[in-house]
Structure 1
Amino acid sequence: MLGICAFIQSFVVNAIFPVGLSTLEKRFKMTSTHTGIISSWYDFAVLLVVFPVCHWGNSGHKGQWIGWGGVVMALGSLVCAMPHWLISPYRPEHSEFNTTDFGQCTYRDIEPEHCDKASISSYLNPYFLLFVLGQTLHGVGSTPLFSIGTTFIDENVSQKASPVYL
């Protein structure tokens, strides 16, 4: 069961979320700085809670800590999915140019965009904050699995079978 949980956690954090970063940039009008912050927030959350989780988790019921970590991880996935449900369906901005055109300049009528630096209010975007919260919950939820999970297996499996489970 721990192996399935670890697979799902790795799939969500290392496969699904990074692949969707370009979609977040387009759909929610985020910059690569925004998506970089969202992506790195997982590691920051792990860093914040790893010592308390290891301390209290090793002195408490390890199975419950791992189980509640899985619940928190699932909540993080729901929070990360919420913006996709809350926003209207995606419509590309320049869809009228999405045709087969063999000319030299497909976007000849578009004015160059101004490259202003993002203001502080762009970091208060509710969708950005939901993704940060979701990644925080992913980090907090996965910490018991990888920090306490090894000890949990070692204590509940014979020494001969322990390497197979790890």
Structure 2
Amino acid sequence: MIQLLDESTINRTLTRIAYEILEKNNGAESITLVGIKTRGEFIARRIQERIKKIEGKDVPLIVLDPSFYRDDRIDQSIEPPVISAEASRLVNNHRVILVDDVLFTGRTIRAAMDALIDYGRPEKIWLATLIDRGHRELPIRPDFIGKNIPTAKNEHVQVELIETDTTDQVTLIK
């Protein structure tokens, strides 16, 4: 097991991503963060906090579970999500930043984009990811990247966050 990022590096990385999001969007107006369950949600919340410190504005955040939309879904009992009018309002004509912890094949992001379209019609969809490890099966690439980690297919990138685990770190398991 090799540590790739520690707590302070994760914090600096998320601050950089927040600045990049603000720069590419000319501020925080009409931005909605969408955190992909589970760790993407917590990364999105941290980015949301940083944007508030930088701009002094609350950026809305939606938590998205794209399980129902996956093309490799095994559990057929998963119900489609209930989409609130508020969530639809926050997606329609907004610049949506999908946030996830690790980008690998791209299938989770594809499912999340399918789910977003059910919410409404975003003006634009951006992708922010803490780790991009390559090995895409779909033509998806992140707009905001914490760190590129070239990996072998048999390796595993493990993201641990204090909200779900006991520490903040990213490790490579061979």
Quick check: TM above 0.5?
no
Which protein shows a greater Rg? 1
Structure number with greater CO (CA < 8 Å, separation at least 6) is 1
Which one has the bigger strand percentage? 2
TM-score band, normalised by shorter chain: under 0.3
TM-score by length of 2: 0.26
